[in-house]
Every structure is written in structure tokens, then in C-alpha cells.
Chains A and B, each alone.
Chain A
Amino acid sequence: MERKVAIIGVGIEKAGESQVPSWELFASAAIEALKDADLHRNRVEALHVGNVYSAFTEMQTNIAPLMLTSIGIESNVAAVRYETACASSSIAFHQAYLGIASGMYDVVLVGGAERLRSISGTAVQEAMASSMDGSERSAGLTFAAYWSYVARAYARKHRIGDAQLESLLAEISVKNHYHGSFNDYAHFQKEVNVEAVLGSPQVAPPIKVMDCCPFSDGAAAFVLAAEDVAKNAKAPIWVAGTAQASGSYSASDRDDLSVNPAISVAARKAFAQARIGPKDIGVAEVHDCVNIHEVVCLESAGLFDEGRGIYAAAERETYFDGSCPVNLSGGLKSRGHPVGATGAYQICEIAQQLRGDFNGKRPEKANTGMTVNVGGTGTAVTVNIFRREE
């Protein structure tokens, strides 16, 4: 029989620029998570960690055992690194959940770490492009161009003019920067306005610089535990549903770029496990690598009807005091995007939101939270639902 699993401790490093290697950054987050869980490191039976680019940016592979050693865990526990582009650490979580639910482990340390700011932006872009279909990349498709295709497909489908599209997208960046301005761990802790977003340099029209998230250094970790351990924790946040799905690797094969069927499939499974529906979600962190993707996540996960998600920020529905608070961390746009750690940040932030100790804007009341973490051109997806039990 499947066992209940909970997050019992979290640790977050400030996203932005780090002078220390990713494994040391991760060790700091992991120690915070263990302290928060009030658990001795010797209780850790496995480490599941997300990291994508250490081979490119730090010339370091086999990073999971190195992270274990950096934490100070010298015992013979399992350690594995997951690489599924931007979804790496949430898939590390999904696998750790399965390990505990199956009875294999009682305590697993989970998280992610990335260091991207130590090399040139051009080199980072080249490394990130390796997460796309190689032949499409060679034929001129960039990530920015891909999200521009998505935005254009969305606008055509829902009959939104160019100027209105750009303005509505800008409202999403404004909203996420507003939330991020209250988050001490965010990469950019400052507000921006619509004019600044609209006036930022074009990258792949209609996508502009301020529609896109930054590349960040960062690390986040959490302690996942079986019910027998978690029931003694001070504030366990229970995993209510977790699902993973994969999208077609070639963007050219997809008929409709304005939706992501993999998100829909993962969301349906996660909601079924949790025995709730989209209206029960009190707070969400979703993957706004480019602001149009926040819309795709919201609609594909069922939080908004198709054609409605684009208006959510402008109508304040996704603000902290709105009907569906989204990305109160600032999202990837403002909190930052340490790629292999982003899913772990989302999970830690939702756990803190449900505990009521998130260091930033919080909804008035939320017992249930969701994360949507997506890698590549929508190819690797996890949807996770968490619950606080009264």
C-alpha cells in the first residue's frame, strides 16, 4: 500500500549570482533544510538532486555524490542527479516521492542547484539550447523564437491584436516583479511597470527582454519523509498528488502551440490523486520562463479556461490577493531561474506558503498549493499538489 509522504524541512539560497560552486551552494540549502526539519543528517537515506549544466559551466560531472560529500554525509547512501532541463529538480522530487511511497526509503533529501552566471550569456544560451531538438536548433529555432511562436499562436487562436497581446504579457511581468519585490531570496527584488516592459529591447518579436526570465545561480533543498517520520514534524506539508508527463520533442510536430497537452495530462493525474479540482488550489508557482508560458501553464493545468489566462494578471486575479494567486515568489521572472534548481524552489516556496512562513507576499488563506515545472520546449513536465492538514 502506498505510504503518505510529506515535506518536513526546506532550505533556500538567494537566487542571483554566487561566487561558490553549485555543490557548495546546494550544501548550504541542504543544511538549512535539515535544520528546519530538526533532523540529523544521518537520517538521510538518499539524495535526489536536479542539475543541468554543471558539465558546461563548472566542468564538473557526477555531481550528486559531490553534493553529498559537501553536505558532510560520508555514509553509503544513494545519490543521483536528474537532468530534464528546467524540470530537473521537480522530477528529482517525483522520483524521491516514489521511493518513499513504495517503502524503499523513509527520509530523502531532495533539491537542485545550478550555477550559470560564471560564464558568458552567449555560452549559457548555447548550453541551454542543447535542451531543444538539435535539428530545429540548427534550423534557427531559439528558445525566444519558440516562445514567440507560442505567443503568436495564442493570439491568433483567441483573436488578440498585437498591441493588446504585448500589453497583457507585460502585465504578467509586472505582477511577478511586484511579488518578487517582497521576496528576500529573489534575484530581482524590484518592481517594474508596463512601460518598462514594453520599452525593453526586442528579442524575437513580440517577445522582449523583460518578457523573459534571467539566468540565475541558486540552490534549494527540502527533506521528504514518510508518514511515520513526518507525523512528529512541526509543520508537515503533505504531497497530495504528483505526476510527470512528456511532450513531443519536435516543436514542428505540434498542431497547437498555445496549449501543452503534457501539462494537461500531468495536472489531471495530480488532481485525481489529490481528489480535488483546480478551484481548490489556493496558491500556485508555475513556470514563467517567458511570460506567455505562465498563461500556457495556467490554462493547460486547468486553473483558467483557455483564452482567459492571458487576462489574469491584468485583472489582478493572479495577484497575492486575487482569486488564484500565482508566482508569489516572483516566479522565474523575478525570483530567478537557476535552471536545475527551479522546480525545487517552487516546491519549497509552496511548502512555506502553506506553512504560513513564506518570506514575501502570501495569500489570505491557502491549504492547498500547486507547482507546474516545465523543461525544454514543453517537453518535460511535472505537476505537484501539496496540502496542509489542519
Chain B
Amino acid sequence: MVVDKKSILAILMFGSLWGLLECTFGAFLHTLHLPAGAVMASIALSLMVYTRRIYQRSGMQFSMAFIASLFKLLNLGFIGGCVWCAMLAIIAEGLIFELMLLIPLMVRFHETHSLLSGAFLGYATYSGGYVLTEVFTPLLSSAGFFISDLIALLPLIFVRGFNAAFLSSILVFIAFRLSSFDLSHLRDDLYYALTSTITLLCWFIAFIV
């Protein structure tokens, strides 16, 4: 039961960190016309990999993505009016990560080859998330969905996926190394105080930015 409480607080904290980064660093990258999607997908992936290694709970990363997506509700100025589209993109990343790690072969590969699995997961998370967003964004807006647009876009998505693959390989490698620091082994009172404070701080910063 104690482990459950810790997992919930971890979902809130890491989801909030992810959401805050999307609102601040992601928006900043957008303004510089840098590949914000690939960079943010890689950062998100490293958070998901770290928490999966520490807490060993499937479903946790999807929940983190959901929490992170809620930050987009505070970030209306940056996303051009389609808050659901931006939220969907984040949730899609969490969903694809969870689906990928349902494959036993992928789990074994992930545990033994951090750099390559990071690249593979980064590529899949980014490209899959991009495709899902391209499908669902028209359905959530007044514009129509044209399959010809998606087919024409696939080569571009698959090429851009290499940006995410490269960055993810590095960040996932770092996340593997950082997972030797097991946050969940902190003393209970310290853990609760730390995670709650960081979560509240993330929401506070996102609210005032």
C-alpha cells in the first residue's frame, strides 16, 4: 500500500515536471524554430524510462503523460487555440511507450542495450505520436481529415524521427545511469515532502509563466 502511495506521488511529480518542461522549454524551442517535438519527445522518453526502471509499473507512464497534458490547459498562448491537439500529442507519446514495453522482446532489448533501445523507443514514440496527432487533430477541429495528406507526410515524419532517435539514445542512456539513484528508497516522510513540493512548484510556475 505504501508503494502505491509512492507511485501515485511519483506520477504526479514526474508528470508535472514533464508538463512544465513542455510549457516552458518546449514553447521556447518552438519560438526558435528548433525541432521542439523531437527534443520534447526525447526528454519525455527519458522521464518515462527512468520511472519505469525505478517503479517497475506499467500504466504509470501513461498516467504521467495524462498529467503532463493537463499543463497545456495553462499554456493557451503558445499553441494556437487547439488545446486538445497539444494534449493529445503528449498522451499519444505515453500510450506508445506503454504499448512498446508490452512486447517481451522489446523489454529484454531495452534492459540490455540502453543506447540502441533509447534510439528505437525515441523513434517509435515520436513517429507514432506524430501520426496519431495528424489523424486525430483534424477530427478535433473544423478541418477535414484527408488520408492523402497523411500518406504524403509519412516520409517526412519517418525522417524527422531520426532527430528524436538520436537525442533519445543519449537521454535514455543517461536515464539508465541515473536510475542507480532510486528515488523511491528515500525515507517516507522525506519522499512525500519532496514529491509534493516539486509537484506543487511545477504547477505554480506553469500557472504564472
Asked whether A and B interact, the reply is no
Residue ranges of A at the interface with B (Cβ–Cβ < 8 Å): none
Residue ranges of B at the interface with A (Cβ–Cβ < 8 Å): none
